Amino acid sequence: MSAPLSPLPQAYDVFNGDADGICALHQLRLACPRQATLVTGVKRDIGLLRHVPSEPGLEVTVLDISLDVNIADLRRLLDAGVQVHYFDHHSARQAFPHPRLDLHWDEAPDVCTSILVDRSLQGQFRQWAIVAALGDNLAKAGYALAQQLGLNERHTSALEQLGFMLNYNAYGEQIDDLLIAPDHLYRALHHFVEPLHFIAEAPEYRLLVDNYQSDSARMEGVKPHWQSACGAIYVLPCETWARRVSGTFANAHTRPGYSCAVLNEMTDGSYLVSVRSGVPETQPANDFCSQFPSGGGRRLAAGINHLPPDQLDGFVQGFRAYFT
């Protein structure tokens, strides 16, 4: 069990609701317990600093959301006298030095936020960094960390599945699409220092596994909207289960030299897009997605939050040209 939380009422923990954001915060709070207001959301809800008030003396920890997307609110908080600790691996091209900004940032394709936290904590809770890395489709980095700890194949495979389940839970148009609200999932997970204990004992984990198996079964036989030797595009229906499984489906259908895009139809007729690059070094996913107004992400995995239906053909043509 984790240590009791120390009171710090003027604190906010702001984190992405996926495996990386949850595991990053979990590591930090195992090492430095404190009571804080949690701010999170579905995976694509990354403009989270807008929810934090400008109060002098406030201490805010930010995990796994793009600095560039939150730049205006970050300046607002710093100008108001807020201390900000920021860990992230997404776009931070607008980063700037500030005496109240403690920034840990690395956009290398084999780095996730939980790995940055693991570095800061000198590997104190490394198994959770492995969970995040493997769940975030950073297989090489995750396996390397597992090897450093001397974990056997069975143990590593269990951590990988946990990462998949945490990521699977994060995909949706709104919180109600998710099986478990991310703040609730974090609190449930935070009772466990060891990932294997969470896997063995937490009812939340069994709920995720059972529903993932059911949702995945519905994906059997889904055909690509477009496909070539370099990649594929899938268009999924406007269904809650399809939104939940989209991220793990995109990860599973990406390999070196072969890229994948999964488009989920939303209730307003637009598409939520997940893109995975099979060649992140030379054809990063975030550079492609940034061509669209609501696009962004990182080299390996990126997305578009709102693709109008009349832009579907243009997206397909652009994806084909970019990844060929």
Q: Which residue has the higher pLDDT, 15 or 3?
A: 15
Both ends of the chain: CA-CA distance in Å?
A: 50
What ranges do the domains of the chain cover?
A: 11-209, 226-323
- Tens digit of pLDDT for each residue in 268-288? 999 999 999 999 999 999 999
Rounded to 5 degrees, what are φ and ψ at 203? -65, -25
Answer whether residue 213 shows pLDDT above 60. Answer: yes
CA distances from 6 to 11, 36, 52, 149, 173 (A): 11, 9, 21, 30, 34
- Bridge partners (DSSP) listed for residue 98: none
What tens digit of pLDDT does each residue of 102-155 get? 999 999 989 999 999 999 999 999 999 999 999 988 999 999 999 999 999 999
Inform me whether the pLDDT recorded for 1 exceeds 60: no
**Average pLDDT across the chain, whole number:** 94
Winning range, highest mean pLDDT, from 163-167, 244-248, 295-299? 163-167
Alpha-carbon span 42 to 63, nearest angstrom: 14
pLDDT value at position 4?
A: 44
Domain 226-323 sits in CATH 3.10.310.30: yes
> What does the pLDDT look like over 23-78, one tens digit per residue?
999 999 999 999 999 999 999 899 999 999 999 999 999 999 999 999 999 999 99
pLDDT band at 10 (very low <50, low <70, confident <90, very high): confident
Could you tell me what percent of the chain has a pLDDT over 70?
97
Of 226, 215, 311, 319, which is closest to residue 276 (Cα–Cα)? 319
Give one DSSP letter per residue of 207-222, joined into a string: HHHHHHHHHHHHTTTP
Q: Which residues pair with 307 in a beta bridge?
A: 271
* Residue 290 confidence (pLDDT): 93
| Rounded mean pLDDT, 231-238 | 96
Kindly state the tokens that stand for 257. Answer: 């030299």
Residue 88 pairs with which residues in a beta bridge? Answer: 105
Residues 290, 296, 298, 301, CA torsion sign = negative
CA-to-CA distance for 244 and 249, rounded, in angstroms? 9
* Residue 77 to residue 57: CA distance in whole angstroms: 10
pLDDT exceeds 90 at position 9: no
Among the four given CATH numbers 1.10.287, 3.90.1640, 3.30.70, 2.30.30, the one describing domain 11-209: 3.90.1640
Determine the pLDDT at residue 276.
96
Please report how many Cα atoms fall inside a 13 Å half-sphere around the Cα of residue 189, on the Cβ side: 31
Question: Would you say residue 8 has pLDDT above 70?
Answer: no
Question: Given pLDDT bands bounded at 50, 70 and 90, which one contains residue 3?
Answer: very low
Rounded Cα distance, 247 and 272, in Å: 11
Residue 246: CB atoms within 10 Å:
25
User: Could you tell me the strand order of the sheet in which 11-15 lies?
Assistant: 37-39, 11-15, 59-63, 83-88, 101-105
Tally of residues, the chain: 324
Pull the structure tokens for residue 302: 């990126």
List the structure tokens of 297. Answer: 């992400």
Following CA atoms 286, 292, 294, 296 in sequence, which dihedral angle do they give, to the nearest 10 degrees?
10
Q: Pull the structure tokens for residue 241.
A: 């289960």
DSSP 3-state assignment of 249? helix
Share of the chain above pLDDT 90, in %: 89
